[in-house]
Amino acid sequence: MSAQRTVLATQVGIVGGGPAGLMLAHLLGRAGIGTVVLEARDKDTIHATHRAGILEAATVEMLAGSGVDGRVLTEGHEHRGTVLRFEGESRRIDFQELVGHSVRLYPQNEVFWDLANARERDGGDIRWSVTDTEVLDLTTDRPAVRFTDAAGERFELRCEFLVGADGSQSICRRAIPDEERTDNFIEYPFAWFGILAEAPPSAPELIYSNSEHGFALVSSRSETVQRMYFQCDPDEDVDDWDDERIWAELQRRVRGPDGLRLQEGPIFDKTVLKFRSYVCEPLRHGSLFLVGDAGHTVPPTGAKGLNLAFCDVRVLAPALVEFFRSGDDSGLAGYSAQALERVWKAQNFSYWVTNLMHTQPGENPFNQKRRRGEFRAVTASEHGAAYFAESYTGWPGDR
Ligand code: PHB
């Protein structure tokens, strides 16, 4: 490798070109602040990576209201409620009626696509497919990132602040010395087997279904493509599952006296998603700020991942804008504590719904019956259902 490096400079260097990094770059760009985004993958690979799809109202507002793209409104679908199903008994949680809000189903890879295209449209600097990324001088006021670009050229990017938006395997987070951060995490003894299938929708709203065989989630992507998941072993091999076996498993996880049947069709994508709840504290180290999955991960059950990442950006972007405008760094000083406040609420919700709806391997019958009691207590009470609805659609103060 050549020792020659081209030196670049910008105000905010952003490591990671997923939705969090690009949303931050977009908002800073609108305020006239220079950014360079560095991303290890290429644009098409990220676009083809399927993640969750539920957007809170505040997330929708950030996309449609800040000039990214209105596609979330024209192609996304409003969901005014969701169905929680336990041992074949469905209870609908009416978000609109209970808390006056709804969510939109719009896949995260489309959120990414809209943001990447908006950055290109607005002349934003994004370097895709970078390698050998390393961050340095984090506790100085001139932090840097060294990287090799897609053409093999070496660079050093000097900036005033660095943002780690590089996902759960974040190299930025790992650059924080162990004694300067606390890693809070738990693992779960199960994962999700996710599929995409060519089939018509099975239901007008999402169904989160618990059964004695384990959990299943019925979601959708369009009139012709459906997204579904079922609880599986973390070491499950997707190649052991053909279409027939997958459909039989999904059907038995939603079966009930109401005769619910899923509409079947050819499956064209299969993945196992591991579960983890993780929070790094604090979310700042010197001139480095962590946003999104780089700082915290949630299991997908509560659909909070992307929404939490956007919440971080909603706190960090104005703090950076204020600093560059007036030199006032109080917003930056408060970033970690303010973002973590919301992160821990969402951690609790994601953990709670995950444990309510999943069957632990080898579960004690006491616990299955206790969870049935919990399900009834939550869904049969207006206050219980409103708690779920408020947590799912986003807490007051976040909108
Ligand atoms: C999805 O549509 O992929 C999805 C929806 C809700 C979740 C998780 C995933 O909680």
Domain segments of the chain as ranges = 6-79+105-184+276-353, 188-275+360-398
CB atoms under 10 Å from CB of 86, counted, come to: 21
101, 285, 296, 304: which is the annotated catalytic residue? 304
Mutate to test the pocket of ligand 1, among 109, 196, 227 (most ligand atoms within 8 A of CB): 227
CB atoms under 10 Å from CB of 218, counted, come to: 25
User: Pocket residues for ligand 1 (CB within 6 Å)?
Assistant: 52-54, 206, 217, 219, 227, 300-301, 303
Q: What's the pLDDT at 396?
A: 80
CATH architecture of 188-275+360-398: 2-Layer Sandwich (3.30)
Virtual torsion, Cα 256, 251, 80, 268, nearest 10 deg: 180
Q: What's the pLDDT at 58?
A: 94
Whose alpha carbon is nearest atom 9 of ligand 1?
Answer: 52
6-79+105-184+276-353 and 188-275+360-398 have identical folds: no
Q: What's the pLDDT at 397?
A: 72
Q: What's the pLDDT at 372?
A: 95
Mutate to test the pocket of ligand 1, among 51, 54, 85, 112 (most ligand atoms within 8 A of CB): 54
Q: How far apart (Å, rounded) are the C-alpha atoms in residues 187 and 340?
A: 20
Active site residue 300: yes
Q: What share of the chain is helix, strand, coil (3-state, %, to 5)?
A: 40, 30, 35
Collapsed DSSP state (helix, strand, coil) of residue 2: coil
CATH code at 6-79+105-184+276-353: 3.50.50.60
Residue given tokens 């809000």 in the structure block: 101
**Taking a C-beta distance cutoff of 8 angstroms, is the pair 35, 25 a contact?**
yes
* Ligand 1 atom showing the smallest separation from residue 301 Cα: 10
- Burial class of residue 144, CB neighbours in 10 A (0-12, 13-18, 19+): buried
Q: Which residues contact 109 (CB under 8 A, 6 or more apart)?
A: 46, 47, 48, 49, 50, 51
For ligand 1, the distance from its centroid to the CA atom of residue 257, given in whole angstroms, is 25
Whose alpha carbon is nearest atom 7 of ligand 1?
Answer: 303
Whose alpha carbon is nearest atom 3 of ligand 1?
Answer: 52
Virtual torsion, Cα 198, 201, 64, 119, nearest 10 deg: -10
Q: What's the pLDDT at 3?
A: 66
Active site residue 208: yes
208, 229, 296, 299: which is the annotated catalytic residue? 208
Mutate to test the pocket of ligand 1, among 103, 106, 196, 217 (most ligand atoms within 8 A of CB): 217
Whose alpha carbon is nearest atom 4 of ligand 1?
Answer: 52
* Ligand 1 atom showing the smallest separation from residue 220 Cα: 2
* Pairing status of strand 12-15 against strand 161-164: parallel
Active site residue 392: yes
26, 79, 285, 358: which is the annotated catalytic residue? 79
* Ligand 1 atom showing the smallest separation from residue 300 Cα: 8
19, 143, 299, 300: which is the annotated catalytic residue? 300
For ligand 1, the distance from its centroid to the CA atom of residue 174, given in whole angstroms, is 29
Which H or E element spans position 375? helix 365-380
Structure tokens at 342: 């919301």
Give mean pLDDT in consecutive 10-residue pieces for the chain, a chain of 399 residues. Answer: 84 98 98 98 94 93 92 95 97 97 96 97 98 98 97 98 98 98 97 98 97 96 96 97 98 97 98 96 98 97 96 98 98 98 97 96 94 96 96 84
Mutate to test the pocket of ligand 1, among 59, 103, 206 (most ligand atoms within 8 A of CB): 206
Whose alpha carbon is nearest atom 1 of ligand 1?
Answer: 52
- Name the CA radius of gyration of the chain, rounded: 22
Virtual torsion, Cα 335, 337, 338, 339, nearest 10 deg: 80
Which among 50, 16, 59 has a CA at the least distance from the CA of 35? 16
